[in-house]
Structure 1
Amino acid sequence: MNALFLGMACLLAVAAGYWILGRGTPRPAGTWAMGSLLASFALAFASYAPLFENAVEAVVPDVARLLSNSASLAAATSVVAVSFQLNLESAEARRRIRLRLLLLAASVFGMTVLFAYEQVTHRSPQVYALYLLAFITYLGFAIIDFLQQALRQSKSTRRTSVRLGLRLAAAGCLFALVYAAYKVMVLVSLGLGFHLIPDHQHCSTLTSSPCVFSVTSPALAVLLICVGLTLPAVVYPVSQARRRRWEVRSFEALGPLWQDLSAAMPEIVLPAEDVNANASTDADFLLQRRVIEISDGILALRPYRSRKVLETAQRTTDAVTEDPAATIEAAVVKAALAAMKAGLLAEEVALPPTEAPSRKDLREETQWLLQVASAYSHRTARVASGEQPEPVGA
C-alpha cells in the first residue's frame, strides 16, 4: 500500500509541477486550478499511505485524517474551479470560484476547530459527528456540482478525448459519492449512538470492510478524476504529432500528381510572396497549398475530360478494385492531361465524379485526392485511353 499511494502521490506532484511551471506563458485558462487539483490529490494519496499516516500521527494523533479530508475538499474545489473556467465566461467563473473558496475555507476552518476539540475531549463521538457533518456537506455539494457539469459538457463537446475524459471524471464522481454515502452512514451511526462502523480502523488491505469504502472508493475517485481531466492534455500532443505525420505523408503522396499538373499548368502554383518562414515549412500549410493547386489543376482540365475515356475506364475497372471511383477519376485525369498537352479538346466532356467531396472540407478533399493520386501512380496504366493520346505522368 505504501508503494501504491506514495508512488501515485509522487506522480501527481510531478504532474502538478509540470502543469504550473512547464506550461509556458501566457498560461491557458484553468492552469492554476488544475495545478492545485493535482497537488491536492497528491497530498490526499500520500495521506492514505500507512508510512505517511504513522509519521504524522506520531506527532499529532489522528491528524492524517484531517490532512486527508482537507486535501480532498481542496481537490474537490479545484475540480469544480477547472470546470467553471472551461465552461463559463471568465467573470461568471471567477464569481463562482470565489464563492466556492469561501465555503472551502469555512469548512476546513470548522473541521480544524472540531478536530482540535475532539482531541481535547478524547475523541468524543458527538464532536466527531459534527466534524463529519462539515466534511461531508461540502464534499457532497462539490461532487454533485462537478458531476452535473461534467455530464452536461460531455454531451456537447466535439473532441473525443475531452468527452472520454469527462466521462471518466464522472465515473470518479460516482466512487466519490459511494465514499460520501459511507461517511453519511458513519455520521448516522454516531448520531444514534450505535457505533456500527469502526471508522477509526486502520486499513491493511484495499478490499476489506470498511476499507473498501473509506480508502478504495476515494482512491479510485481521485485516480479517475485526475486521469479524466488530464487525458485531453496528454492526448493532444500525441494527436498533433499523428496529424503532422499524416500531413507530411499526404504531402509526399500527392507529389507525382502535383508534379505532372504543375508542369503542364504552371499557373496553378500559388504565389510564394508574403509567406512567412514558419508557414513555408509548416506541414499543414504546405499540404493545403498542394491540395488547392491539384484541385485547381483538375478543374482546369475539364474541357479535356473525355466521356469516352470515362466509359472505357468504367468498363475496364474491376468491381473489386480498391477505390474504383478514384481509379476511374485518375484514368480520366491522366488522359485529360495528355489531351491538353496535345491540344485536343474532348468531343463530349465528362462531368466530375459525384464522389468528390466539397472543397469546404479540406480533410475529406485531401483523402479523396490521396486515393486519386495513388490510382494515378499505380493503377491507371491498364486502363484503355480510347482515341486519346498516350497517357503521361508517373
Structure 2
Amino acid sequence: MNVVFLGMALLLTGAAGYWVFGRGTPRPTGVWAMGGLLGAFALAFASYAPLVGDTVETLVPHVARLLSNSASLAAATAVLAVIFQLNLDPVEARRRIRVRLALLGTTVASMTILFAVEQLAHRSPHVYAVYLLLYVSYLGFAVVDFLAQALRQSTSTRRSSVRVGLRTAAAGCVFALIYLVYKLVRLIDLGLSLGLVDSHAECSSLVGTPCVFSVTSPVLAVLLMCVGLTLPAVIYPISQARRRRWEVRSFEALGGLWQDLSAAMPHIVLSSEDAEDMSTESDFLLQRRVIEISDGILTLRPYRPRAVQAMAEGTVDAGTVRGAAAVEAAVVKAALSNLEVGRLADDVAPPSAEAHSRRDLRAATEWYLLMAHAYASSGGRVADDGQANTVGA
C-alpha cells in the first residue's frame, strides 16, 4: 500500500507544481485553486500510507488520524474552490471560498484541540465522538455542496470534456458519501457503546472490512475527483492539436479547387497583408480559403449550365451528400469553362441545397472537401457543349 499511496502523492505533487509554476503568464482563472486541490490530494494520499503514519506517530502517538482527516478536509475545500470558480462569477466565488476557508480553519483547529484532549483523557471515546462529529459534519457539507454544483454545471456546459470530468468527479462524491456513512456508523457506535466497529483493526488489505470503507472509499473519492477536475485541462491541448492538424490537412486538400477558382477570378483572393500577419494561424488560413472558394462559386453563378447539372445527376446518387458534391463539382468545372470563353449559361443551374445548409466553418469545409475530391477525380472541365477541356490554373 505504501507504493500505491506514496506514488500517487508524488504524481499529484508534480502535477500541482506544473499547474502552479508551469502554466505561463498570464495565468488562467483557477490556477491557484487547482494547484491547492492537487496539493491537498497529494497530502491526503501520503497520509493514507502506513509508512507516513508510522513515522509521524513515532513523534506524536496516534497523530496520523488527525493528519489524514485534516488533509481530507483540505482536499474537500480545494474541490469546492475549483467548482465555485467554474460555476460562479469571480466576486461571488471569492466570497464563498473565503467563507469555506474560515470554516475549514475553525474545524481543523477544533479537531486538533479535541485530539489533544482525547489523548490526555486516555483516548476517551466520548471526546473522539465529538471530534468525529465535527469531521463528518464538515466533510458531509462539503461533499453535498460539491455534488450539487458539479451536477448543475455538467448539465449546462457545452464542452464534452468538462461534462465528462464533472460527472466523473460526481461519481467520486458517491464513494465519499460511502465513507461518510461509515464514519457516521462509527459515531453512533461510539455514542451508544454498541461495539459494532473494531476501532483497533489494522488495515492489511484495501478490500477487507473495515478498510474498504475507511481507506479504499476515500482513496477512490479523491482519485475520481482529481481525474474529473483535471480531465478538461488534459484533453484541451490534445483536442486543439487534433483540430490544428485537421485544419492544415483541409487547407491543403482544398488547394486544387482553390487554385483553379483563384486563377480564373483573382479578385476573390483576400488581401495578402492579413495572411502575412497570421501565417501561423491554421484556423484563419482555412477560413480564408473557404471564404474565397465560396466567393468564387458565387461569382460563377451566371455561368452554371443546368444541362451539365442534369447530366451529372444521372450518373451519381444525387440524394447523398457525396453525390450532391460530385454534381456541384461537375457544374463548377463547366462554369469555369464557360467563364474562360465568356459564355453565359442559357439555363442557369441552381446552387446546391447542401451548400446552403452548411452554417459553420467545419460543416462548410467538409462540404468543400467532398467537392474538391470530386473535382480532382473527374480530370477535366465539361462545358455546355459536352466537350472536355483541360483542367489547370
TM-score between the two structures when normalised by the length of structure 1 = 0.96
Q: SS where residue 194 of structure 1 aligns?
A: coil
Aligned residue in 1 for 2:126: 126
Query: Once the 2 structures are TM-superposed, how far is the Cα of residue 202 of structure 1 from its aligned partner?
Result: 2.1
Contact 2:247/2:283 (8 A) holds in 1: yes
Q: Which stretch has the larger CA shift, 115-124 or 307-316? A: 115-124
Letter in 2 for 1:305: R
- Alignment partners' CA distance in 2, 1:383 and 1:292: 23
- Alignment partners' CA distance in 2, 1:211 and 1:51: 16
Letter in 2 for 1:272: S
* C-alpha spacing 1:274/1:311, structure 2 compared with 1 (3 Å): closer
- Alignment partners' CA distance in 2, 1:391 and 1:313: 16
Contact 2:164/2:228 (8 A) holds in 1: yes
Aligned residue in 2 for 1:387: 385
Aligned residue in 1 for 2:301: 302
Q: SS where residue 42 of structure 1 aligns?
A: helix
* C-alpha spacing 1:392/1:291, structure 2 compared with 1 (3 Å): farther
Query: Once the 2 structures are TM-superposed, how far is the Cα of residue 264 of structure 1 from its aligned partner?
Result: 0.5
Q: Deviation per CA, 1:198-234, whole angstroms, max 9, x where unpaired?
A: 2342211110001100000000000000000000000
Consecutive unaligned residues in structure 2, runs of 5 or more: none
* C-alpha spacing 1:269/1:360, structure 2 compared with 1 (3 Å): same
Q: Where in structure 2 are the equivalents of 1:110-121 lying within 5 Å?
A: 110-121=110-121
Aligned residue in 2 for 1:354: 353
* C-alpha spacing 1:340/1:137, structure 2 compared with 1 (3 Å): same
* C-alpha spacing 1:359/1:296, structure 2 compared with 1 (3 Å): farther
- Alignment partners' CA distance in 1, 2:380 and 2:359: 33
Letter in 1 for 2:174: L
Q: Does 1:282 align with 2:281?
A: yes
Aligned residue in 2 for 1:167: 167
Q: Which stretch has the larger CA shift, 145-154 or 198-207? A: 198-207
Q: Which stretch has the larger CA shift, 192-201 or 12-21? A: 192-201
Letter in 2 for 1:159: R
Query: Once the 2 structures are TM-superposed, how far is the Cα of residue 359 of structure 1 from its aligned partner?
Result: 6.1
Contact 2:186/2:197 (8 A) holds in 1: yes
Q: SS where residue 355 of structure 1 aligns?
A: helix
Q: Where in structure 2 are the equivalents of 1:310-329 lying within 5 Å?
A: 310-318=309-317, 323-329=322-328
* C-alpha spacing 1:377/1:144, structure 2 compared with 1 (3 Å): same
Contact 1:16/1:35 (8 A) holds in 2: yes
Query: Once the 2 structures are TM-superposed, how far is the Cα of residue 40 of structure 1 from its aligned partner?
Result: 0.5
- Alignment partners' CA distance in 2, 1:74 and 1:200: 26
- Alignment partners' CA distance in 2, 1:305 and 1:384: 11
Contact 2:380/2:390 (8 A) holds in 1: no
Aligned residue in 1 for 2:27: 27
* C-alpha spacing 1:192/1:174, structure 2 compared with 1 (3 Å): same
Percent identity of equivalent pairs: 65
Q: Deviation per CA, 1:300-329, whole angstroms, max 9, x where unpaired?
A: 111111110000000012579881111111
Aligned residue in 1 for 2:238: 238
* C-alpha spacing 1:391/1:143, structure 2 compared with 1 (3 Å): farther
Contact 1:189/1:195 (8 A) holds in 2: yes
- Alignment partners' CA distance in 2, 1:111 and 1:281: 57
Query: Once the 2 structures are TM-superposed, how far is the Cα of residue 335 of structure 1 from its aligned partner?
Result: 1.1
Q: SS where residue 59 of structure 2 aligns?
A: coil
- Alignment partners' CA distance in 1, 2:39 and 2:8: 11
Aligned residue in 2 for 1:365: 364
- Alignment partners' CA distance in 2, 1:177 and 1:281: 50
User: How many positions carry a matched residue from both structures?
Assistant: 392
Contact 1:317/1:383 (8 A) holds in 2: no
Aligned residue in 2 for 1:158: 158
Q: SS where residue 58 of structure 1 aligns?
A: helix
Q: Does 1:335 align with 2:334?
A: yes
Q: Where in structure 2 are the equivalents of 1:172-191 lying within 5 Å?
A: 172-191=172-191
Letter in 1 for 2:205: T
Letter in 1 for 2:306: R
Query: Once the 2 structures are TM-superposed, how far is the Cα of residue 275 of structure 1 from its aligned partner?
Result: 5.2
Contact 1:326/1:368 (8 A) holds in 2: yes
Aligned residue in 2 for 1:210: 210
Letter in 2 for 1:233: A
Consecutive unaligned residues in structure 1, runs of 5 or more: none
Contact 1:19/1:31 (8 A) holds in 2: yes
Letter in 2 for 1:259: Q
- Alignment partners' CA distance in 2, 1:393 and 1:79: 62
Q: SS where residue 25 of structure 1 aligns?
A: coil
- Alignment partners' CA distance in 2, 1:320 and 1:85: 49
Q: Deviation per CA, 1:312-353, whole angstroms, max 9, x where unpaired?
A: 000012579881111111111111111111211111111111
- Alignment partners' CA distance in 1, 2:386 and 2:300: 14
- Alignment partners' CA distance in 2, 1:359 and 1:266: 25
* C-alpha spacing 1:319/1:304, structure 2 compared with 1 (3 Å): closer
Q: SS where residue 241 of structure 1 aligns?
A: helix
Query: Once the 2 structures are TM-superposed, how far is the Cα of residue 44 of structure 1 from its aligned partner?
Result: 0.5
Query: Once the 2 structures are TM-superposed, how far is the Cα of residue 393 of structure 1 from its aligned partner?
Result: 2.9
* C-alpha spacing 1:274/1:261, structure 2 compared with 1 (3 Å): closer
* C-alpha spacing 1:274/1:310, structure 2 compared with 1 (3 Å): closer
Contact 2:203/2:211 (8 A) holds in 1: yes
Query: Once the 2 structures are TM-superposed, how far is the Cα of residue 195 of structure 1 from its aligned partner?
Result: 2.4
Q: Where in structure 2 are the equivalents of 1:55-70 lying within 5 Å?
A: 55-70=55-70
Letter in 2 for 1:150: A
- Alignment partners' CA distance in 2, 1:18 and 1:29: 15
- Alignment partners' CA distance in 1, 2:145 and 2:130: 23
Contact 1:338/1:389 (8 A) holds in 2: no
Query: Once the 2 structures are TM-superposed, how far is the Cα of residue 388 of structure 1 from its aligned partner?
Result: 4.5
* C-alpha spacing 1:290/1:226, structure 2 compared with 1 (3 Å): same
Contact 2:205/2:211 (8 A) holds in 1: yes
